Amino acid sequence: MKSEPVTLYELSAPLLSGEAVSLSEFAGRVLLIVNTASKCGFTPQYGGLEQLYRTYAERGFSVLGFPCNQFGGQEPGTEEEIGRFCERNYGVSFPMFAKIDVNGPLTHPVFQMLKRARRGIFGTQRIKWNFTKFLVDRDGQVVGRIGPSTTPTDLGPKIEALLGIGNSGTTGV
């Protein structure tokens, strides 16, 4: 009987290119893990995510994007189409993974773990919409679950606090 993974770092997922990546490659980094979509009202958040990534990557921060088509069919493209869209429209350079489910019986293990660690409003695990964000500290602990309406740029102070930059206040999200 296979045991449940204990940390995010024991999981892996394929990139848009199909190459499998172990999340252990991101050990010691602050992570913002996001379920994304190319045809959503929140899609412009790709720009803010890329800005965060470029601002903090050298200090130990990564954004991990996971496209999902479970909300209104707003991510209908193939992995190749998703990659071209993200690069062409938002200059996305952070890791983008293959399309996954974030709810239901086929929920990807990464999102199973994230949702168990940080429940949503009213204690539910279910993700309500695209661009739900999970903030993970350097030790792999999920320290925040952030709704789609919170823009990536609003997260700068929380990311800085987790990275130990300046006097950014508390790390609670």
> Would you please indicate which residues are annotated as catalytic (active-site) residues?
40
> Residue type for 130, please?
N
Q: Nearest to residue 22, comparing CAs of 30, 13, 32? A: 13
